[in-house]
Structure 1
């Protein structure tokens, strides 16, 4: 596609839809699906994914109020839960837009009650319970039970949900996850004995959906698995078959021969041992391609592996194409995805770089346009440079 002759991320919406169906099939009957599309859908694009999942996902979850409002601005009408911090000056707008907020202090509930009364609407809240992550949330105990009883009586407050988050469900040893669930279940039971019944209880993340369907409760939150990636190498991939949604491509912009003893890139970290042919690819760490892949990663050219030589630069990287016949300027380079019989996965690159798949996809930068495929056809695109900026003088 000549319009994107430099670099592009190709997002297969059918793969996302199929992944959600596969995850749903591994849950208990009646369990609702909350699609986690924070960080712009883990770098894939929150709005197109939300639209594709209409009728399949019951809820959406994001990390910030701004992300939630952006979905509403794009006519995403389903319930949206903000999992993290929301400043008080956004409470009224959140109430008016029927955005669900995670509440983890009694004072937050009080402020939301005031905002709801002022707006003349209910504030839908999901209580965050701390069970072993030690991030945000009420610590289970008598004080928390008393506070939640009081919250249930606050004017304008609708206790729609209560949730927690597994810290280690992606490990082969599930004992910590089991203890977390027992704490959560015990606290919910104690609340019920006090007459506080909350409709939506949710704890399962991608790892738990795959390995611990017995802990589904009323709703599960699927994040990384939506996009066809597994949360770790320790989950049982046989339970749920996922298809990667991302294909990342760039272009060969230059080729040259170098002689033995010549070095490649900043710092001269790669030295040619023989006469070599080097190709320069139009992507770098300024696009979110990991610099730690210097002298470690590879790309696919003409269906063959081309190792990265030297350091990944901000805007370009160099690869060894000595053993790949016919490489020339303009050829497509595949950085993630399939080319012929060869395949590069996000997980493979992340492992080579000493990180994990979540970080790789979330780091993909705004210089990379997202191109959306549905039924094998291009149905949309997101070019971040076409967004209008507020003019500041």
Structure 2
């Protein structure tokens, strides 16, 4: 562990890169896929896009997906190899077409109009790689009908400046129990893409949910996954994991102050917690500005494999825990992850927060140092 990093902030995140690699290999084996597109948008779901992508590159992954042009440029600066493809998911500003081409990014496109504007701004020496997005029911972006898809594909084929690199859709209910809606989307994608005669080598429609629970129903030659790489269940709590994944992220802090509350004494804003008897409490230098949400009061933490509890209101930079005995300053505390034979999983943490793991990990702020374990 890099103690110089920890000295700047005694609250930090540990990222297990071998766990990322294990999870990638596991989902490839589970689906019998030949190719994996690793979704590393939002700084690899808060885990660190460059470090995660480099770890995946080391085991043979050559395809990555981000959300924005800025994310794509940052990733390309680290993965400059010719054999690495970076897909831009979502809507992109066509006025940035030269930046997209310069950094060899492959934008998702949905319409002939967008392509016409892009071509108008390009010169004859430029080639734009495109991913055709198909909206089969997510309702956000993509060709919205069989004819719209055909028109976009025809436009790509007729221009020498455009190169098709993929065609995809995104499932709205692959990670819950709404199977009828999932099958409706799948049927539409297959019908529209086959009608347009787009070769299967370009297809990628298996996100984490469909790769985990629907891999027998769809084409999984190429899978496009995010949450699976980071070791959490995208279908929690409705669906159980069909494969074993390794936890990637651990959130830790250290006790910065400790004292004994006397009966009747309170802590933090609003005096919402009052000791009913003498009680050891400790302050941790982490709060909602770090992504430890204000509503997490009452959540457990782990000290030496034993449970302590967050009490009082969580503030911007600090929180307080109640302990069953004295622990000295600098004692390590686990807020997400394993300690001894106990674990606070990201699924348990997000359930307590009344949200999903995706929101938790992407909310952990940049002022929490990331420490990478290889």
- Common fold: TM-score over 0.5: yes
CA distance in 2, matches of 1:133, 1:11: 31
- Aligned mate of 1:105, from 89, 106, 111: 111
Match of 1:348 in 2: 348
Partner of 2:23: 19
Determine which of 304, 318, 321 is the counterpart of 1:319: 321
Gaps of 5+ in 1: 375-393
Q: What is the correspondence of 1:116-155 to structure 2 with a 5 Å cutoff? A: 116=122, 118=123, 120-155=125-160
Q: Return the offset for 1:213.
A: 0.8
Cα distance change of structure 1 residues 76 and 212 upon mapping to structure 2, 3 Å threshold: farther
State the 1:317 CA deviation: 0.3
Give the distance between the partners of 1:281 and 1:122, measured in 2 at CA: 53
The offset of 1:199, in angstroms, is 3.8
CA–CA distance in structure 1, aligned partners of residues 46 and 276 of structure 2:
39
User: Any idea what SS the aligned residue of 2:42 has?
Assistant: helix
> Do the aligned residues in 1 keep the contact of 2:31 with 2:220 (CA within 8 Å)?
no
Which of 220, 224, 234 aligns to 1:221? It is: 224
**Alpha-carbon offset, residue 126 of structure 1:** 0.7
| Residues in 1 aligned to 2:151 and 2:73: alpha-carbon distance in whole angstroms | 32
Larger RCO: 1 or 2 (CA < 8 Å, sep 6+): 2
2:363, 2:60 → 1: CA distance? 27
- What corresponds to 2:11 in structure 1? 7
Quote the residue 2:76 is aligned against. Answer: 72
- Say which SS state the counterpart of residue 107 (structure 2) adopts: strand
Whole-angstrom distance in 2 between the partners of 1:275 and 1:130 = 60
Change (3 A) 1:106 1:218: farther
Of the three residues 172, 175, 178, the one matched with 2:180 is: 175
Query: 1:9 aligns to what SS in structure 2?
Result: strand
- Give the superposed CA RMSD: 1.7
Larger deviation, residues 88-97 vs 226-235: 88-97
Q: Distance in 2 between matches of 1:29 and 1:15?
A: 19
Structure 2 residue matching 1:329: 3-state secondary structure? coil
Asked if the contact 2:112–2:152 (Cα under 8 Å) also holds between the matched residues in 1, the reply is yes
Distance 1:119 1:369, change over 3 A: farther
| Aligned equivalents of 2:33, 2:315: Cα separation in 1 | 50
3-state SS of paired residue (1:261): coil
Deviation at 1:313, TM superposition (A): 0.8
What SS does the corresponding residue of 1:221 show, helix, strand or coil?
A: strand
1:351-366 mapped onto 2 (5 Å cutoff): 351-366=351-366
Structure 1 stretch 267-276 or stretch 224-233: which is displaced more?
267-276
Aligned to 1:298: 300
Distance 1:7 1:366 in 2: 11
CA distance in 1, matches of 2:293, 2:254: 17
Structure 1 CA distance for aligned equivalents of residues 151 and 55 of structure 2: 42
2:95 is the alignment partner of 1:93: no
Q: What is the correspondence of 1:184-223 to structure 2 with a 5 Å cutoff?
A: 184-192=189-197, 196-197=198-199, 199-214=201-216, 215-223=218-226
Name the structure 1 match of 2:312.
Answer: 310
Would you say 1:247 and 2:247 are equivalent positions? no
Q: Which runs of 5+ in 2 are unaligned?
A: none
Q: Distance in 2 between matches of 1:29 and 1:141?
A: 27
Q: Indicate yes or no: 2:61 matched with 1:57.
A: yes
Counterpart in the other structure of 1:268: 271
Query: Residue deviations 1:198-255, cap 9 Å, x none?
Result: 7411111111111111313442111011011110223341x22111111111110111
Whether contact under 8 Å (1:286, 1:365) holds in the other structure is yes
Q: Distance in 2 between matches of 1:10 and 1:147?
A: 44
The CA deviation at 1:259 is 2.0
Q: Give the TM-score, by structure 2 length.
A: 0.93
Report the CA distance shift for 1:70/1:328 in structure 2 as closer, same or farther (over 3 A).
same
SS, match of residue 26 in structure 1: helix
Shift of 1:49: 0.8
TM-score for the superposition, normalised by structure 1: 0.89
Separation in structure 1 between the aligned mates of residue 142 and residue 155 of structure 2, nearest angstrom? 17
Q: What is the number of residues matched between the two proteins? A: 365
Q: Deviations over 1:41-98 (max 9, x none)?
A: 0000000111111143231000001101111112343100000222223211211322
CA contact (8 A) 1:92 1:119 kept: no
Matched residues in 1 for 2:169 and 2:79: separation?
28
